[in-house]
Structure 1
Amino acid sequence: MGTTTLIAATATGLMTGLFFAFSVAVMPGLADLPPKHGRAAMHRINARIQNPLFLLVFLGTAVLCGVEVFTGRAVGGLLYLAGAFVLTMVVNVPLNNRLERTDCWPEYLRTWTRWNHLRGLACLASTVSLLLGF
């Protein structure tokens, strides 16, 4: 296993952990709050997660997984690119933007969390695939 693959597998593992934490702790915790407070907390989380370290890992992992696609580990690379990166940009970010404009908390909570579960599973599958050489 090369250095790029090792870093990509580690980074997809970090993203797996982030999505897992949201699925099993953050979103259920926000769901326990009154809707007004849950929505306000999610606004803060969405603002704070856009920081240099998160962006480096999230975007850097996409670049590394793109490299992996072209160096023989296409399954692992594509699982992250499609299941985490693209899904985030096409589903979760638009949901976050909608939450900023409207009071759609109950629907947002269900939909965002469901898609987040899928992102977490895709990242886990990506990590395993990269480590196994796929």
Structure 2
Amino acid sequence: MLVLPLIALVLHGALAGLFYAFSMSVMPALDAVEPARAEEVMRSINRKILNPWLFLVFLGAPIAALAAGLFAGGPAAIWFFAAAGVSAVGSFLVTMVINVPMNNAVDAGTMPWKEYSPRWTLWNTVRAAASLIGLALVGVGLINL
């Protein structure tokens, strides 16, 4: 059954691309403008990004990898389970414990941009790396089907 692993692959790729784009282009662009403008734009991004497409990718990647592992069996299952675990910890947990509280602080005006941006970008890069690792793990799982 290739459908679930392929869905997991695509979702991990989309998530990795989202996080990568933020760390490599969006945050440097915001750092190049006045902090008040950067905070204003980030508040807008934080509101607009909460949509069904984000939730599909963000929640779907680890769930699809887990489901692929449950249906795959054999050596491939281990790779899919590993991808689900890396995604759950490196993307979901980091987001909920670190990035979301920081977004809430910048939204509330309680964290200045100069403090927010480097820390947020660091942890976003961790999310990108975890998503890329998850993507690779799903790929190895596909090879082992």
TM class by smaller structure: over 0.9
- Inter-partner Cα distance in structure 2 for 1:79 and 1:91: 16
- Once the two structures are superposed, the pairs formed by residues 9-20 of structure 1 within 5 Å of their partners are 9-20=9-20
Equivalent residue for 1:130?
138
Contact kept, 8 Å, 1:69 with 1:76, in 2: the verdict is no
Q: CA deviation at 1:2?
A: 2.3
Contact kept, 8 Å, 2:62 with 2:83, in 1: the verdict is no
Q: CA deviation at 1:60?
A: 1.9
Equivalent residue for 1:50?
50
Matched letter for residue 78 of structure 1: G
Contact kept, 8 Å, 1:75 with 1:126, in 2: the verdict is yes
Give me the TM-score of the superposition, normalised by structure 1. 0.92
Q: CA deviation at 1:68?
A: 4.1
Contact kept, 8 Å, 2:62 with 2:85, in 1: the verdict is no
Runs of 4+ in 1 over 2 A off after TM superposition: 65-71
Moved more, 86-95 or 65-74: 65-74
Distance 1:61 1:8, change over 3 A: same
User: Identity, % of aligned pairs?
Assistant: 37
Task: Report which of the two structures shows the higher radius of gyration computed on alpha carbons.
Answer: 2
Gaps of 5+ in 1: none
Moved more, 121-130 or 62-71: 62-71
Number of aligned residues: 134
Equivalent residue for 1:66?
66
Distance 1:62 1:76, change over 3 A: closer
Matched letter for residue 66 of structure 2: G
- Inter-partner Cα distance in structure 2 for 1:111 and 1:6: 33
Q: CA deviation at 1:65?
A: 2.9
Q: SS in structure 2 opposite 1:50?
A: coil
Distance 1:28 1:8, change over 3 A: same
- Once the two structures are superposed, the pairs formed by residues 1-134 of structure 1 within 5 Å of their partners are 2-68=2-68, 70=70, 72=77, 73-101=80-108, 102-133=110-141
CA-atom RMSD in angstroms: 1.6
Q: CA deviation at 1:62?
A: 3.0
Deviations 1:86-133 (A, max 9, x none): 111111111101111214211110100000111001000100111101
